[in-house]
């Protein structure tokens, strides 16, 4: 009797065990929880970045795509008469002497910006840390050109470079250099240099702020150790300050190059690309073709060419910087 009861109990245990729900191991449950949490985090990221990505896609990506699309047509930009001509606008562009002049002026502005704006910005940033009295006043004065309206700067320098009563010719006359006097903005040989000088004067303070912020971030302990080793100011600059400013220099170079390749406003105010297209830039030539000559298709081909050139130059700089980091 007792044996039968035990056998029946064992059969019930086996039967009830077969009905138990399978419980996965702990690592499997943790892995599922991690995947679920990652999905939730992904949706949170999309929620925060979504509006910015939407605006960027609408006003940047979509604009680039439509610029290339319009460049394939002969179109005034006003009526609906769009005639497809393929790459004919780009073929015409390759033989356009004014476009090549504007491209040359853009690269001339790039070189002048790199060799003038960045060194001036670094020098002014270093001066802000010098023990000269009244540095707060100079800090405001240094940054003032960048705060001024571009139109106001353009009009100001039109008067400064005026051939009759401009201050440049007045100073040259006082120094006995009358043979150097000329109408700076009306001369094809000097107009581009006068405009470039104005652009560099305007944007050098911007790079001063970038370099000053980078210099503030350099640990003071490095300079104290250099003082203990007996290093002078020159050695500290070349051994500590300049090497640690290389990332900022790379970033500033990219900003300077891209800004110079798409520059427009000051040239438009001061010379409008003249005289005889000697100060023409790609952006001013694009504006002239698109909104003055009402040649939207050709203007779009110039605009898309600007984008491709700027993209190639930027990629080249980034690759160079990555190789530099890998070598170091």
The answer to whether the beta carbons of residues 251 and 214 sit under 8 Å apart is no
Residue 196 CA, chain-centre distance (Å), reads 18
Local confidence pLDDT in tens for the 328 residues of the chain = 445 544 545 555 555 544 455 455 556 566 777 777 877 888 888 888 888 889 989 888 999 999 999 999 999 888 888 999 999 999 999 999 999 999 999 999 999 999 999 999 999 898 888 777 767 777 778 888 888 999 999 999 999 999 888 999 999 999 988 889 989 999 999 999 999 999 999 999 999 999 999 999 999 899 889 888 888 888 988 999 999 998 899 889 889 998 998 899 999 999 999 899 999 999 999 999 999 999 999 999 999 999 999 889 888 888 887 887 776 6
CA dist., res. 272 & res. 282, Å (int): 12
**CB under 8 Å, gap of 24 or more: what pairs does 65-69 form?**
67/300, 67/303, 67/304, 67/307, 68/300, 68/304
CA dist., res. 164 & res. 162, Å (int): 6
CA dist., res. 252 & res. 258, Å (int): 10
Residue 315 forms beta bridges with which residues? none
Question: Looking at residue 119, what is its pLDDT?
Answer: 93
Peptide bond into 275 cis (omega under 30): yes
The answer to whether the beta carbons of residues 109 and 203 sit under 8 Å apart is no
| Most distant CA pair in the chain, distance | 135
Tokens of 283: 């952006």
Residue 105 CA, chain-centre distance (Å), reads 19
Tokens of 268: 């438009």
Global pTM reads 0.80
Crossing angle of helices 246-261/97-112, nearest 10°? Answer: 150
What stretch of H or E contains 166? none
CA dist., res. 313 & res. 308, Å (int): 9
Burial class (CB in 10 A: 0-12, 13-18, 19+), 213: exposed
Q: Where are the beta strands (DSSP E) in the chain?
A: 73-74, 83-84
CA dist., res. 301 & res. 93, Å (int): 8
CA dist., res. 109 & res. 162, Å (int): 22
The residue to which tokens 């571009």 are assigned:
150
Question: Looking at residue 30, what is its pLDDT?
Answer: 63
Tokens of 269: 């105010």
The residue to which tokens 């100079």 are assigned:
138
How crowded is residue 85: how many other Cβ atoms within 10 Å of its Cβ? 16
Nearest Cα residue to 262 out of 278, 291, 282, 288 = 282
């Amino acid at each position: 009797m007792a044996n039968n009861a035990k056998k029946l109990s064992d059969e019930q245990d086996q039967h009830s065990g077969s009905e138990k729900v399978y419980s996965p191991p702990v690592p499997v449950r943790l892995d599922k929880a991690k995947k679920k949490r990652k999905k939730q985090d992904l949706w949170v990221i999309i929620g925060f970045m979504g509006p910015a990505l939407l605006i960027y896609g609408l006003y940047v990506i979509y604009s680039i795509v439509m610029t290339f699309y319009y460049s394939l047509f002969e179109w005034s930009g006003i009526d609906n008469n769009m005639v497809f001509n393929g790459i004919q606008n780009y073929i015409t562009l390759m033989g356009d002497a004014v476009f090549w002049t504007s491209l040359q002026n853009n690269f001339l502005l790039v070189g002048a910006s790199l060799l003038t704006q960045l060194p001036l910005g670094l020098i002014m940033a270093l001066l802000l840390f010098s023990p000269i009295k009244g540095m707060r006043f100079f800090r405001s004065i240094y940054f003032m050109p960048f705060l001024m309206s571009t139109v106001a700067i353009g009009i100001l320098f039109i008067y400064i470079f005026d051939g009759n009563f401009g201050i440049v010719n007045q100073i040259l006359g006082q120094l006995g250099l009358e043979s150097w006097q000329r109408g700076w903005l009306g001369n094809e040989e000097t107009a581009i240099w006068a405009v470039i000088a104005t652009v560099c004067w305007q944007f050098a303070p911007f790079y001063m702020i970038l370099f000053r912020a980078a210099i503030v971030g350099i640990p003071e302990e490095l300079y104290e150790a250099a003082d203990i080793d007996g290093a002078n100011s020159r050695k500290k600059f070349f051994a500590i300050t300049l090497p640690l400013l290389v990332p900022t220099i790379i970033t500033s170079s990219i900003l300077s190059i891209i800004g110079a390749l798409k520059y427009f406003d000051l040239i438009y105010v001061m010379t409008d690309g003249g005289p005889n297209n000697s100060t023409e830039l790609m952006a001013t030539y694009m504006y002239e073709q698109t909104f003055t000559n009402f040649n939207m298709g050709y203007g779009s081909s110039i605009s898309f060419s600007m984008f491709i050139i700027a993209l190639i130059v930027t990629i080249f700089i980034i690759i160079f910087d990555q190789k530099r980091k890998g070598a170091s």
